[in-house]
Amino acid sequence: MSSPPLGRKSHEGSGNASDSDSEDEPTLPLNQFYPYIRCALCCGFLIDATTITECLHTFCKSCIVKHFFYSNKCPTCSIIVHQTQPLYNIRPDRQLQDIVYKMVPFLEERKEQMCNFYKERGLDVPKPVIVSPPCPAVIKRQKKDNVPQSVFTVPPELDVSLLLEFVGAEEGICNYKPLERRYVRVSGEATVRHVELFIRRKMELSPSCQVDVVCGDHLLDHYQSLKEVQNFVGEDALQDGLLVLHFGLVLSDLKI
């Protein structure tokens, strides 16, 4: 059976149709709009429509949040949404959700029925679904029971683990924050320049301060990728599987 057409509803019992009614715009079946109003993950109509800012593909909020707990790529086009925090790059699409509600009115009616169900019983109306990773206590219990877990796995693109060791700052450099995040997992295509920018941002360094990054006995150049550094220095640069980078702060007009 084909889907009901979209258009002006007919009124039962109206015997006469005006000339303007016969000249109405042609109507289209609802299923022609399915690619735009259905979620590619659950194949249902969009609920709490949420769009990925990198590629503008849209999904149900609960569906895309669940998806990002085990992948950092768009389900439709496979673009990397964010290397480590894909949830940073999604936004609610209220305009599209309003369109879905207008085209499929019973969706909004069901949502209202659900709210009324809880209110009539003096219960709190559930908020939009946000999936949280399991708490440590639950994980420990699952490990003891040998039950497979559904947890966020590190994307294969993030193939280099760093340990950033601060060796000190030159005299005259002050008012910088300590680097609280010493362990970082990044793509091997990232360069030493990316590491320097990360350090600058986290330590809130002034432009007059220069960051020198050393691996083993080698002062690294900004253009070198971390994969190249790891291959060049070899096992001597690794500590428990981590690529150890030492860095120091000097004044930009001086060299170590």
Q: Could you give the CA distance from residue 73 to residue 78 in angstroms, rounded to a whole number? A: 5
Is 24 inside a domain boundary? Answer: no
Q: Is residue 227 part of a domain?
A: yes
pTM: 0.40
Token couple for 201: 């941002």
Is 152 part of any domain? no
Mean pLDDT by 10 residues, the chain (256 residues): 48 49 70 88 89 93 90 91 88 91 79 74 62 50 46 56 85 80 82 89 85 87 86 77 87 58
Q: Is 13 part of any domain?
A: no
CATH of the domain at 243: 3.10.20.90
Indicate whether 141 belongs to any domain: no
The domain boundary residue, chosen from 75, 98, 121: 121
One domain, residues 63 and 112: yes
Q: Which domain holds residue 186?
A: 159-251
Give the end of a domain, one of 100, 121, 142: 121
Q: In sequence order, which residues have a C-beta less than 8 Å from that of residue 241 and are 6 or more positions away?
A: 161
Q: How many domains does the chain have?
A: 2
At residue 90, the pLDDT reads: 92
pLDDT at 67: 92
- The SS3 call for residue 225 is strand
Domain boundary among the residues 95, 121, 147 is at 121
Q: Which two tokens stand for residue 64?
A: 């895309």
> What CATH number has the domain bearing residue 106?
3.30.40.10
Is 3 within a domain?
no
Distance (Å, whole) CA 4 – CA 255 = 75
Q: Are residues 179 and 230 in the same domain?
A: yes
In DSSP notation, 121-182 reads TT-PPPPPP-PPPPPHHHHHHHHHTT-----PPPPTT--EEEEEEEEEE-TT----------
Asked if residue 164 and residue 244 are part of one domain, the reply reads: yes
